[in-house]
Amino acid sequence: MRKAGLIFLIFICIFLSYLTFITAQKAFQSDWKLPAASTQKEDSFRIVLITQELDTPFWDKVGKGAEQQAQKSGASLEVWGSYGKNQDDFLKKLEVAIQSKVDGIIVQGLDTDRFKELTKVKAAFYGIPIITVGNDVPKAESLRKTYVGSNQHLAGMMIAKLMLSDMGQEGQVILLSDSQKEHYQEQRLSGIKEVLQSFPNIKSIYAETPETREQVIAKTRDLLNQYPDADGFIAVNANTAGAMIQEIGRRGQVEPYFIYSFDDGSESMTLLNQKKLDGVIEQSPEMMGRKSVDVLMQWLKNETVPLDADGYSSEIRMIKAMDER
Amino acid sequence: MNRIQKKIWMLASVVLIIMAIIWIALTYYNQKTQNQYNDILQRYLSMNEVTSTSQKMVTDLNNYLLEPSENHMDNLDKSKDKLNMAKLEIGKLRNSENEFALMNYMNLIDSLIETTDRSLMFYAESDTETSNKEFTEATRLSKYISEMTLTLIDTELKTYDVFYRGIIDQSGEFKKLGIWLMLLITLLLLVITYWFSLSITRPVQQLTRAANELSAGKFDKEIKVDSNDEISFLAQTFNRMRININNLFQEIQQKAQLEHELQQSKLLLQESQLKNLQSQINPHFLFNTLNTLSKKAYLEGSKETSDLLVSVAGLLRYNLKWLDKSVTLQDEVMVIQQYMNIQKARFTDRLTLHLEIDQSCLEVQIPGLTLQPIIENAVIYAVEPREDGGQIWLRIKDDDNMVRIEVEDDGPGIPENIRLQILDGELVETNSASTGIGFTNVVKRLRLFYGLENVMDIQSDIGVGTTVVIRIPKTRGIEQHAQTLDR
């Protein structure tokens, strides 16, 4: 009896010691770590990539490419931007970047006065190099160091040719651009028009619309009313393609129309997969990102001065809806 | 020998040390947590400080632009200094997570200060328009700083989320630890206290039990206490006392026994003296008569009768004289010869006495009248009843430091039960044919005289004979003892 009691007591003692030990270990041992102390070298370059459309497949790829390249060349890069082409927010980000005295800014070009003023005056004042990516703004207006991205004029020509090969050399084509008249759209248009000029049987109708969805829909409706015989559509601003197709679809079949756009819209690839778009011009966003960082680093390290003001073109390809299947 | 005190001190120090360790651990942990909290708070405070200082600076700038006075200038300078200080503080918060943002943040602060300076400069040059433009920019920058502060704090929260949760979890674990630790220590202390108290009370209990037994009179049980403190010392002392008491007790018992024996020997002596007195009705008359008879017989030419009468007279004198004194063996042998002379006259050639005596042993001290009753006994039982008589051997031999006296006869022997009764001194003699002193009396006297139990032995075979063997020491070892008793 006494022995049993003793064993019981020892058992309880061991049990309690074990529990105490376990909890003590948990209480005194912290497995969470504070963030590591600053590892960045003082002289590593800080680069900001600013876009107007965060979280779209196209710009995500640009960001990814840029980050890869930045890591490779030992620069620290952050992707800033606005959502859904919020210009005020975008410009504010740009200004903050300039005022934060980053070492270089890679920015999606925006063809507005405020943008030009910021790049021309502010950035130049602080001596911050600016590279446009994806969309260009002419050097004279923005004092950008260079442009990295597709040759938009060539892209316009390609899309026109693509349409011609599908539609034939006769028909009515509606070119829908947005009212911003951004530089890259102008260039695409000029490319399209250059091709279409040599085909007198093609009648091209040029239309402009503000970028909001409702307005695009309204404009499309107007256009369909005005030109019921239209055979093809080209959404020069890829972001308008979705709303445009939606309206056309409401009217009737989407199939008979030849609809083309570019891949830098948030819905472009989805629409292509649904065969609602007959073809897109695919650019190389990842390459753009990589190249832009690479070029900027070259400039920052004084390896290539000055940079090619005409820009560095990235690849463009045509994709037809059939190819995708 | 201050073991109990030492034990108590030990217990107290163990408790004290445990408490001290817990207290130190708690304090250390508390301090650590406090520091962590302080650091965290400091981070947020530093960031907030930037926001408020930058706003303050813009306000000061505005005040100055509206009303350029020394006072406002001072304020502006002060807030500029403060902003610079705040910037320095912010610089310390860098880590790998917020490095980029923090660098931007600090540059923004720089830009704000520069813009403010520019605004002041243009103001001094009376370029009010440019100055105002710069002021607007400063305002905007201040706004950006506020926004960025919020972003930073947000990032900070995200970065440190795990850390904060860790702290919360840890404090939870700590609470649990407290409970377990308290239970463990309580149990341990209980066990230690129990063991400790037992180590003091158990020896006391043992001692109490021993004392009880002692008081009940059991002196022969050793007192044993398994402890090594004062109690054990007490127990040892107690045990010594027990041994002493026990020794005294035994001594007293021994004395009592001796006294008892002495009394007995006195009684025996008295008995033989009484018997003696009975037979000495008028010894002088008897002597005189015997002497007269002896002379008369001699004159009448009966020489044998005369000798016989002399023997009877000698024997009688010896009987009266030596009864309570020790004599030498020589005297005894002489008496036996006289006695045998008398008996020879009675039994003529029916009785033959063989003497085998080692002369060197005759100086040994022996109580008076010891051999004569034995011989007499042999005569009475071995010779008298037999028609053809009997033989008696008396042998006195040297046996190392003892003297061996054997009285042998060839009579009918003694039955075993009687033999034992004789040896035990229980036999009461009924035959009154002796000279007076019985066998039993002799046995007891011999034992008392030498203080030895095995002085006498009797060997007897029925129909063959009886041998009485007396072994007495040459030097009387008990002499001193006897003298002590005589006192």
Averaged pLDDT, A70-95: 88
CB atoms within 10 A of CB A306: 8
* Chain A touched by B111 (CB under 8 Å): yes
Q: Answer yes or no: is pLDDT of B486 > 90.
A: no
pLDDT tens digits for B91-117? 888 887 778 888 888 899 999 999 999
The three-state secondary structure class of B114 is: helix
Residue B346 has pLDDT above 90, yes or no: no
DSSP state string for B388-417? T-EEEEEEEEEETTEEEEEEEE-SS---HH
Instruction: Write down the pLDDT at residue A165.
Output: 87
CA distances, B233 to each of A118, A256, B198, B223, B228 (Å): 102, 120, 18, 11, 8
Distance (Å, whole) CA B363 – CA B474: 9
Residue B255 pLDDT > 90: yes
Enter the tokens of residue A157: 């020509």
Q: Residue B465, by phi and psi: left (phi above 0), alpha (psi -120 to 50) or beta?
A: left
How high is the mean pLDDT of chain B?
A: 83
What single-letter DSSP state applies at residue B381?
I
Residue A24 pLDDT = 84
For residues A180 and A240, is the Cβ–Cβ distance under 8 A?
A: no
A28 pLDDT more than 80: no
Residue B289 makes CB contacts below 8 A (sequence gap 6+) with none
CA-nearest residue to A37 within chain B is B95
Q: Which of B302, B291, B373, B293 is nearest to B332 (CA)?
A: B373
| DSSP per position, B155-186 | HHHHHHHHHHHHHHHHHHHHHHHHHHHHHHHH
pLDDT score recorded for residue B301:
87
The terminus-to-terminus CA distance of chain A in angstroms comes to 84
pLDDT over threshold 90, residue A124:
no
Where are the strands (E) in A46-156, listed by range? 46-51, 76-81, 104-108, 130-133, 146-150
Residues from chain B that touch A23, judged by Cβ atoms under 8 A, are: 173, 176-177, 180
B134 Cβ contact partners less than 8 Å away, ≥ 6 residues apart: B115, B116, B118, B119, B122
Separation of alpha carbons B172 and B156, rounded Å: 23
Residues of A in contact with B104 (CB under 8 A): 46, 96-97, 100-102
Of A20, A28, A30, the CB nearest to B180: A20
Which chain A residue's Cα is nearest to B144? A96
**Predicted pLDDT at B478:** 45
For residue B20, pLDDT over 90 is answered with yes
Q: What is the mean pLDDT of residues B397-406?
A: 86
Of residues B394 and B275, more confidence is placed in B394
Q: What is the DSSP letter of A252?
A: S
Q: Tokens for A285, please give them.
A: 């966003």
Partners of B159 on chain A (C-beta within 8 Å) are: 35
Pick B166's closest partner by Cβ from A24, A30, A97: A30
Higher-pLDDT residue of A123, A1? A123
What's the pLDDT score for residue B281?
55
Give how far A136 is from chain B: nearest CA, Å: 26
Which single residue is written with the structure tokens 């002392």?
A: B237
Please give the mean pLDDT across all residues of chain A: 85
User: Do A16 and B108 make contact, defined as CB atoms within 8 angstroms?
Assistant: no
Beta pairing, strands B351-357 & B390-399 = parallel
pLDDT of residue B485: 45
Q: State the pLDDT at residue B321.
A: 67
Spatial contact of B385 and B350, defined as CB atoms under 8 Å apart:
no
Model pLDDT, residue B16: 92
User: Confidence class of residue A324 from pLDDT cuts 50, 70 and 90?
Assistant: very low
SS3 content of chain B, % helix, strand, coil (to 5): 70, 10, 20
What's B431's DSSP letter? Answer: -
pLDDT of residue A31: 61
- Say if domain B322-486 classifies as CATH 3.40.50.620: no
Q: Which domains does chain A have, with CATH numbers?
A: 46-150+285-314 (3.40.50.2300), 152-283+320-324 (3.40.50.2300)
Q: Do A46 and B141 touch (CB under 8 A)?
A: no
The predicted structure's pLDDT at residue B282: 63
Which regions of chain B carry the CATH code 3.30.565.10?
322-486
C-beta separation of B383 from B351 below 8 A:
yes
Whether A29 has a pLDDT exceeding 80, the answer reads no
**According to the model, what pLDDT value does residue B351 have?**
85
Q: How does residue B254 score in pLDDT terms, banded at 50, 70 and 90?
A: very high
CB–CB of B458/B377 below 8 Å?
no
Give the torsion through C-alpha atoms of B297, B303, B304, B309, to 10 deg.
40
Inter-chain residue contact B170 with A27, CB threshold 8 Å: yes
| Percent of chain B at pLDDT exceeding 90 | 14
C-alpha B263/C-alpha B479 separation (Å) is 17
| Predicted pLDDT at A33 | 64
Which element (helix H / strand E) includes B18?
helix B3-66
Between positions 270 and 289 of B, the ones with CB within 8 A of A are none
Q: What value does the CA radius of gyration of chain B take, rounded to a whole number of Å?
A: 64
B42 touches chain A (CB under 8 A): no
Range list for CATH 1.20.120.1730 in chain B: 3-205
How does residue B411 score in pLDDT terms, banded at 50, 70 and 90?
Answer: confident
A24 close to B (CB below 8 A) = yes
Residues of B in contact with A102 (CB under 8 A): 104, 107
Query: What's the confidence (pLDDT) of residue B283?
Result: 66
Picking from B103, B176, B187, the nearest residue to A16 by CB comes out as B187
Are A241 and A259 in contact, with CB atoms under 8 Å apart? yes
Distances (CA, A) of B167 to A28, A34, B45, B161: 11, 12, 20, 10
Alpha-carbon distances, residue A116 vs A127, A131, A152, A196, B75 (angstroms): 15, 13, 20, 32, 37
> pLDDT tens digits for B35-50?
888 988 888 898 899 9
What is the side-by-side strand order in the sheet with A146-150? A76-81, A46-51, A104-108, A130-133, A146-150, A312-314
What pairs with residue A318 in β-bridges?
A281
Q: What is the pLDDT of residue B355?
A: 87
Q: Is the Cβ of B159 closer than 8 Å to some Cβ of chain A?
A: yes
Percent of chain B with pLDDT over 70: 91
Across A185-194, b (16+ Cβ under 10 Å) vs e yields: bbbbbebbee
Token pair, residue A10, equals 């020892």
* pLDDT (tens digit per residue) in B170-205: 888 888 888 888 888 888 888 888 888 888 888 888
Q: What three-state secondary structure class fits A265?
A: coil
CB A157 within 8 A of CB A192: yes
Is residue A158 scored above 50 in pLDDT? yes
Side by side, which strands form the sheet with A317-320?
A202-209, A171-178, A232-235, A258-262, A279-282, A317-320
Provide the 3-class DSSP secondary structure of residue B370: coil
Name which CATH class applies to B3-205: mainly alpha
CA distance B191 to chain A (A): 9
Q: What is the pLDDT of residue B487?
A: 41
Among B110, B177, B187, select the one facing A13 at the smallest CB separation: B187
In one letter, which amino acid is B470? I
pLDDT digits (tens, 9 = 90+) for A249-308: 888 887 888 899 988 887 888 888 888 888 888 888 899 999 999 999 888 888 877 778
- Kindly state the average pLDDT of the residues A203-225: 88
* Block residue for tokens 């022996």: B366
Which residue type occupies A277?
A: L
